[in-house]
Each structure stands twice: as structure tokens, then as C-alpha cells.
Amino acid sequence: MSHATSDLLAPFPRVSLCHQPTALEFMPRITTALGGPKLWVKRDDCTGLATGGNKTRKLEFLIAAAIEAGADMVVTQGAVQSNHVRQTAAAACKFGLGCHALLERRVPDRADSYEQTGNVLFDHLFGASIEYRPSGLDMNAEAIAVTEKLNASGRKAYFIPGGGSNEIGALGYVACAGEILQQSADQGLDLGWIVMATGSAGTQAGLVAGLHAAGSDVPVMGVSVRQAHDIQVKNVHGLAVKTAATLTDTPLPVEKIIVDDGYVGAGYGLPTEGTLAAIELFARQEGLLFDPVYSGKGLDGLINMVKQGFFDDAKDVVFLHTGGAAALFAYEAQLAAMG
């Protein structure tokens, strides 16, 4: 990470969970195949914790906050195949904390195996206790209620929001912004855009806040995996403002929050044909594994933006790989149908 970002983060409690900096790799074959700008991938699938992923960066700050609060366990929530819950359960193990997770049955019409394979298999392996909720509830409110109930029974439970997406967790992506700027300078990139899948808002908010605090004007394109444009912009901006306020006095305008909601498809966790085709293309061109819930939709967006001439071909474009390949096993039937 750049010195500027490192200095900004120095006051915040933090534990070590993450292999960092993660690599910034050029994708030559996909660049040639798509015929646009040079395309790079920021390998946050390689953060090292429990098969990696973007939540590991956030958990460095969230687990530190839990320990500082005297917690003996953490409580969090996510969809059934939550990458965040898997990484939180693993992080809790590393520090001797319990982990209790609420999983929302958010994705309709799944086979029974959907709740046994992929991330759920890992959740159990890490000893997390799990309870399920039907779709459509305020899951953070549900998890807070469970946290309070546990504390009333004598536990010292610490609540971590879905996706680790609050102003504490988002600091992990302030750190990542610094890494990308430093690596781009070291590797001679003329950085035009950072592209990523955006869901619970914390990753995009942290990146934007980190770039803002570092004085960088590199724009971040968030390809929404769930929410409509206006809702996602509001969610990301609200969190980016809170995060930036802990780092700088310079206001963060809403214009810095850029979202494309054209790749959501039928809803969260439901990959489109474009999602699946993008996963297959990047697997076969670059030997990379992307997931069907988040990055696959982000890649579909990236491919179409290149084809539509959205980017300046003279500048480099970085795709942030947020991990999640463990969830591929829960989508085996749809992936196998592609041949």
C-alpha cells in the first residue's frame, strides 16, 4: 500500500489476516480477445484466509474491534452461500472466538445441496453455529437481535454486519486503494478505471474513500449484483462518506459513486447467461476462477463495457477480483449445462 494510505490507517486497531499486497496481474489473452484497453486483475481472491476473498481485508479491522470490545464470539449474517460468513468463521478460529451466523435463504429454487456444499461446507468445518432465515427480512436487524440475546445469556458477542460493510470494515479497502495506486505506479500503468462487482457496498465504498483520501481521481465502476442503481449509489455513498470522514476533512461528492445495474438479471445469486459465459471465458483464456454471485456479474459488465467502447483504450483498466470460487460448487448444474 502507498505510504499515504498506510499513514491514514495507522490509528486504527488491526489484526493480521491477509496476504498483502495481493498481486496485480496483466491479462494478455483476454485483452487480445476483447480488443480494448489493457486489462489487469487485482488478485483479492488470494488474500489467504480460507480460500481468500475480499472480506479478509475488512476482517483485519473488524476482528480487531471485536477483540478490543472484549468479545468471546462474533455474530454475522449473509446469504446461504456467503463468502463473508466463510471468511468470518475462519478469522474467528484464528483468534479463538466463537462464530454464530444467520444465513438468509435469499436465492429461490435451489436444490437441497445448495445448503450443504461450497461455503456452507466450510462454515461447518470452521465450527460456526448456523441458523437460517427466510428471504426478505432485515438481516442485520435479525443478527443484532441475536447478538443482544446472546449477551443477555452471558456471552460477549460482537456484531459484524453483512459483508463486513460498515466504516470499520471498509478500511480494508482503503488499504487496497493504496496498494493499487502503488502497484500501478511501480508497474507503469496509466490507470483509467477500476471495475468491480458491488453488493453490500463496503468494498466499493472503501476503495472510493481510499482513493479520495489519497487525492486520486481514478474512477471506480461498481457493477451491481443485487440492487437497482439509485439504491446502490445511496448505499455506497453513505458508507463512503462515513469512511472518508475518518481519514480526511475533504467532502466526498456523490458523483464519485458510479454504478451500473444492467447485469443483476433475475436477482441476487441468480447468474445470467452472460455471467456464466464470462466465467467460462476468463477460465479458458486466463486460467482464473470467478464466482457466479459477484465477480461473474462484474466480468459480464466489464466485457460489455469494453465491447461498447466505454473505456479509453490508451489507459489501463483494473478488475478487482473479490474471490468466491468456493461458491462455484453450489452452481455445478448450471455450469455443467454450458458444456
* Owner of C-alpha cell 457496498: 201
For the domain 55-164, what is the CATH code?
3.40.50.1100
CB 236 within 8 A of CB 257: yes
Q: How far apart are the first and last CA of the chain?
A: 41
- Residue of 82, 165, 200, 216 marked active site: 82
In whole angstroms, give the CA distance from residue 120 to residue 181. 35
* φ/ψ (deg, to 5) at 87: -70, -35
pLDDT at site 2: 60
Q: According to the model, what pLDDT value does residue 339 have?
A: 63
Lowest mean pLDDT of 44-53, 145-154, 329-338, name the range: 329-338
Active site residue 82: yes
| Residue-wise pLDDT tens digits, 21-42 | 999 999 999 999 999 999 999 9
What single-letter DSSP state applies at residue 316? E
Q: How confident is the model at residue 208 (pLDDT cuts 50, 70, 90)?
A: very high
Would the pLDDT of 284 be above 90?
yes
pLDDT of res. 335: 87
Look at residue 5 in the predicted model and tell me its pLDDT.
74
Rounded to two decimals, the pTM is 0.96
Mean predicted confidence (pLDDT) in 38-51: 98
Q: How far is CA 74 from CA 79, 80, 160, in A?
A: 17, 18, 7
Residue intervals of the chain classified under CATH 3.40.50.1100 are: 3-53+168-336, 55-164
Q: Tell me, what's the pLDDT at 237?
A: 98
Q: Is the peptide bond before 21 cis (omega within 30 degrees of 0)?
A: yes
Residue 337 pLDDT exceeds 90: no
Among 151, 186, 180, smallest CA distance to 69 is for 151
| Average pLDDT of the chain to the nearest whole number | 96
- pLDDT for 257 equals 98
CATH number for 3-53+168-336: choose from 3.90.1580.10, 3.40.50.1100, 3.30.70.20, 1.10.3260.10: 3.40.50.1100
250: pLDDT confidence band, cut at 50, 70 and 90? very high
